[in-house]
Structure 1
Amino acid sequence: MNAIHTDVAVVGAGIAGLTTALRLSEQGVSTLVLERGESEKYMCNTRMAGGAFHVAHQDVADDAQVILGAIASRTGGSASTELVEALANDIGEATQWLKRQGVRFIKVGHESYRKHTLAPPIATRGREYWVGRGGDVLLRTLAGGVTRHGGKILHGVRATALTMRDGACVGLHAQSATGPVAIEARAVVICDGGFHSDMDLLREFISPAPEKLKQRNAQTGRGDGLRMAREAGAQLVGLNRFYGHVLAQDAMHNDDLWPFPMMDFVCAAGIVVDMAGRRFMNEGLGGVTMANTIAAQADPLGATVIFDAEIWNGPGREYLISANPTLVSGGGTLYTASDLGSLASQVGLPADVLQQTVAQYNAAVDGGATDSLVPTRSTGGYPAWPIRKAPFHAVKLCAGITYTMGGIATDADGRVLDQASRPIANLYAAGCATGGIEGGGDREQVAYIGGLSRSTVFGLRAANAIASTLVPA
């Protein structure tokens, strides 16, 4: 068995891992990054990301109090106070740190939360929309910084278990193409992302039928770090939520229909029904919540969105890569009929039930009483549009999962906590392998905060905490 000695071993070379490694390396700490991907162009979610840096849809340059308010509104106060305050207070400087490393940002679109989008922005079409753009360039920039400061990145090495001694982490075991590797380290940082691509963990925490979710990601989130931490006694939090969007069901077999177009805006304007033709969710809570609700159904492929010409030509054209016309041009199925009965027949729904559902919904919209619907229909975030102008449309849906929001519990400096909320010595975690800040809430709405931003902030905080206590050997 090969043996390697290092000050710090970082598991995963996405944005959290490389941020952590670069910050450690520039402070003179001997750092080794383990990346399961075999080539220098390894896939991960960061490489494919849309690239918007925001916190709860607030610009990263906004005042910390504004950001804190946005997080509180999203989470209903359920997120860890120390994590929330660290994120809100640090994100501005963390973004400036990225800029100092050579990472470039650009404003994309009219939304304020896109003022800091990774440059060059992603392409609006094609399977290689990310190549040479945003996240791809960011990873290459950070990796170059790591090696320039003396850090090392090992590709094709998969971490398999932590090495624990007297309750402290002293290294880890890994597997490479040439055999097992034993790594002795004075600290280990888990940064390998969520468990969004592991069917067993998804079935345990997210969906009864995870094979019916669309992997709207790099398919590299296997939950290795979460498993290792759990075996070492770490506390896990918020595992039942994920970040994702509603997609056309055709995306399950048509790669031209993911990660875009999203069906979120169409669904948020119209109604989403089950196979019985009845609404089963609050469409006004937005795409992330709707995707989670669909995924939790006994059959996650049983949802259909019903809408009309006004919605298709209004909200259907929202976003940079809009559902109208991208759904059809990408080969997706748009069911169309002159009346709801005919539409129901095409989609395979009971016509009488669907007509009754739409009639009840329209009456509530006309009377400003959508909160009386069952389930209720909020209008604070997205207005409810009536469904009455022919032609009528339907699209069969699926939930697209991008990353899981829950994971390893940590404090604000990335120290992994045990079941009694005490730090496990020498063990840290950052990025989407961790939980406690996204997903929860005392309301129905899923709290999406922003994966790129939290990964950067807590990668830096973990690195700084380690460097402040670790004298290089």
Structure 2
Amino acid sequence: MQENETFDVVVVGSGSAGAMAALRAADQGLKVLIIEKAQKFGGTSATSGGVMWIPNHQLDGDQGDSREATLQYVDSLIGKPVNRERLEAFVDEAPKMLAYLKSTGVQVAAAAWPDYYPSNPGARADRSVIVPTFDGRDLGDNRYALMREQYNRFKLFGRYAMDLTETFTLMMQSKGWRGVAAKVIARYWMDRSTRAVSHRDKRFTSGAALMGATYKAVFDRGAELRMETKLDRLLVDDAGRVTGVEVSNFGRTYTINARHGVVLAAGGFEWNQELRDRFYPVPGLTRHSSTPEDANRGEGLIAAEAIGASTEHTEAGWWIPTMQLPMPGASNFHEIHQAAFDVGRPWSVVLNRNGDRFVDEACGYDQFGQAMVADHQKTGANMPCWLIFDAKFRKKFSAGGLMPTVHTPEKKVPEDWWDHYVFRANTIEDLAKKIHLPVDKVKEQVRKIGEYSKTGIDPEFGRGMNPYDQMFGDPTVTPNPNLGPIDTAPFYAVPINNGDLGTKGGLRCDARARVLDQAGNPIAGLYAAGNQSGTPFGDVYPGAGATIGPAMTFGYIAANDIAERSGNQRA
């Protein structure tokens, strides 16, 4: 490592946006450096579900999707002004990005995952794309253990990797689930060669599969990755062009020059309470985010604002309901658990602190979070809200980090959890008193859920009455897989916070991923992608993978623009 080094392109951040920008730029013959402030690479993307929302991808030939259908769908959703050219650039370039990714050797497949607003015109159930299981050892033993690991919640017993099919089979305790669990465990322990290298399962699934496969292509093309290297500021010449970065490594500061461009792809600002307080109408706490702890603090946004960059869509995150529990073996520390699908299961209801329902509990997790914000602005009685459920639910489903009784029977629940993190009572009345909700209202809401479960019709919010809701319900429960009577003691409640998967807003960019100044003009040499930039969708989350899909697409677009301006563009 030398002082004042020079690369053609410097990419800040090692998540999906940065990985794609680096991959494409390297494939264009440019000398690329990725800097990552953490001790692990892969960013938030490596810990995610690894889904890309890619409309009109044509993976299996013409499936009937189109540019027109996609725009019809997103236009029916977006409720605030967006950059139309940028939105259309995503729709047009996303299929090209995916085709390019495939050409580098990364395997991809369409998933049968309904768009989050399945009743809207143009909605489909095949726009979400995943990467099959990747053998992490293919990264090389010197890198295999350095990619960010999936959270414990995405592994069986916090150790064994599961793909999406295995996850849903175990989550729902579907037929043959015990055999699936045995296979997952046996597969891990039979892999003795990997056990000699690391405790980590060599099977990279979900986000780890996406990032593992992509980084194999990145490394094969000679791009350099440098960890423990934090962006401090952007370097600008007298003409206002970004020419490089000043970085720090364990307190030592030095500069790296970028001949042709800097791509900011270092995630959002969800772990920066000052920025949350500045931008969000209901700020919430950094602590409730489900992204890697203290990772995305908005350094790229801060550095860009310091040279005149503008921002957009910063008033919202990619919301997801979360709850917290003490970490196993370290009770003074807490772990955040997603509850995205738990809140819409049968035999449960979600209430605000006034004892009122406020949303179709089984809706998309971002819609759920938006409803929490709106209800709190209206009533002041949300954030947290309460998930209330009975013994039937407890036996079969998780409630955030509280695993079902087949995994965590009552006697194995730590004593300090009861009535502090998880509340339990033998009657609904006593449960409502414990969590300080109005008893009569809670009883009435429970009664109504019981009535709705008989008819299968939720006249208030339509819970379980669309394909997305039903996908995460229980098919053995009829007539509505998301509704069941809350009638079997004991009864339980857990507080639900408005967590996130990152921030929706960030640096304002144009259709070429160039960062714009306050006047709307591109800042020469500066690009942004992923949650470092504003989403092209404004205030909505159209489908699974609507964070990573645009992140990789605009990383691809940024690299293409840099290559074209430098005279290095190839086919």
TM over 0.5: yes
Structure 1 residue 242: Cα displacement? 1.5
CA distance in 2 between partners of 1:432 and 1:264 (Å): 26
CA distance in 2 between partners of 1:55 and 1:169 (Å): 31
Report the residue type matching 1:221 in the other structure: N
CA distance in 1 between partners of 2:273 and 2:233 (Å): 20
| Partner of residue 162, structure 1 | 234
CA distance in 1 between partners of 2:543 and 2:312 (Å): 14
Q: Does 1:266 align with 2:345?
A: yes
| Partner of residue 131, structure 2 | 118
Structure 1 residue 110: Cα displacement? 7.0
CA distance in 2 between partners of 1:446 and 1:93 (Å): 20
Helix, strand or coil at the partner of 1:258: strand
Choose which of 487, 510, 522 in structure 2 pairs with 1:423.
Answer: 522
Q: 8 Å contact 2:14–2:42 — kept in the other structure?
A: no
Q: Which moved more, 1:139-148 or 1:394-403?
A: 139-148
Deviations for 1:196-234, whole angstroms, at most 9, x for unmatched residues? Answer: 222222232234441452434454211111111111211
Distance verdict in 2 for CA 1:213–1:370, change over 3 Å: same
Structure 1 residue 190: Cα displacement? 0.5
Superposition CA RMSD, Å: 4.1
Report the residue type matching 1:48 in the other structure: T
Q: Which moved more, 1:392-401 or 1:119-128?
A: 119-128
Distance verdict in 2 for CA 1:427–1:99, change over 3 Å: same
Q: Which moved more, 1:287-296 or 1:220-229?
A: 287-296
Choose which of 436, 441, 450 in structure 2 pairs with 1:348.
Answer: 436
Structure 1 residue 433: Cα displacement? 0.7
Distance verdict in 2 for CA 1:169–1:94, change over 3 Å: same
Report the residue type matching 1:82 in the other structure: E
Distance verdict in 2 for CA 1:323–1:107, change over 3 Å: farther
Q: Does 1:14 align with 2:15?
A: yes
CA distance in 1 between partners of 2:509 and 2:272 (Å): 22
Choose which of 522, 532, 536 in structure 2 pairs with 1:437.
Answer: 536
CA distance in 2 between partners of 1:407 and 1:428 (Å): 12
| Partner of residue 387, structure 2 | 305
Q: 8 Å contact 2:54–2:127 — kept in the other structure?
A: no
CA distance in 2 between partners of 1:194 and 1:341 (Å): 42
Q: 8 Å contact 1:11–1:17 — kept in the other structure?
A: yes
Report the residue type matching 1:64 in the other structure: R
Q: How does 1:145-156 map to 2 (within 5 A)?
A: 145-156=217-228
Helix, strand or coil at the partner of 2:23: helix
Structure 1 residue 342: Cα displacement? 2.9
Choose which of 247, 259, 265 in structure 2 pairs with 1:174.
Answer: 247
Distance verdict in 2 for CA 1:414–1:214, change over 3 Å: closer
CA distance in 1 between partners of 2:28 and 2:557 (Å): 13
Q: 8 Å contact 1:193–1:223 — kept in the other structure?
A: yes
Structure 1 residue 387: Cα displacement? 5.1
Structure 2 alignment gaps of length 5 or more: 60-64, 115-124, 135-149, 162-200, 470-479
Distance verdict in 2 for CA 1:457–1:260, change over 3 Å: same
Distance verdict in 2 for CA 1:68–1:307, change over 3 Å: farther
| Partner of residue 97, structure 1 | 100
Deviations for 1:135-166, whole angstroms, at most 9, x for unmatched residues? Answer: 33443443443344343222221111112233
Distance verdict in 2 for CA 1:214–1:184, change over 3 Å: closer
Deviations for 1:420-452, whole angstroms, at most 9, x for unmatched residues? Answer: 2221111111111110424515xxx89876122
Helix, strand or coil at the partner of 2:302: helix
Q: 8 Å contact 2:13–2:264 — kept in the other structure?
A: yes
| Partner of residue 198, structure 1 | 272
Structure 1 residue 105: Cα displacement? 3.1
Aligned length: 460
| Partner of residue 119, structure 2 | none
Q: Does 1:457 align with 2:539?
A: no
Distance verdict in 2 for CA 1:318–1:346, change over 3 Å: closer
CA distance in 2 between partners of 1:313 and 1:17 (Å): 42
CA distance in 2 between partners of 1:260 and 1:286 (Å): 11
Report the residue type matching 1:161 in the other structure: R
Q: 8 Å contact 2:271–2:289 — kept in the other structure?
A: no
CA distance in 1 between partners of 2:512 and 2:425 (Å): 56
Structure 1 alignment gaps of length 5 or more: none
Distance verdict in 2 for CA 1:60–1:370, change over 3 Å: farther
Structure 1 residue 2: Cα displacement? 2.3
Distance verdict in 2 for CA 1:110–1:54, change over 3 Å: closer
| Partner of residue 322, structure 2 | 247
Distance verdict in 2 for CA 1:249–1:157, change over 3 Å: closer
Percent identity (aligned)? 24
Deviations for 1:48-96, whole angstroms, at most 9, x for unmatched residues? Answer: 121222248x877443333333323332474432222222222223222
Distance verdict in 2 for CA 1:337–1:322, change over 3 Å: closer
Q: 8 Å contact 1:439–1:448 — kept in the other structure?
A: no
Q: Does 1:290 align with 2:373?
A: no
Q: Which moved more, 1:224-233 or 1:83-92?
A: 83-92
CA distance in 1 between partners of 2:549 and 2:564 (Å): 23
| Partner of residue 145, structure 2 | none
Q: 8 Å contact 2:339–2:399 — kept in the other structure?
A: no
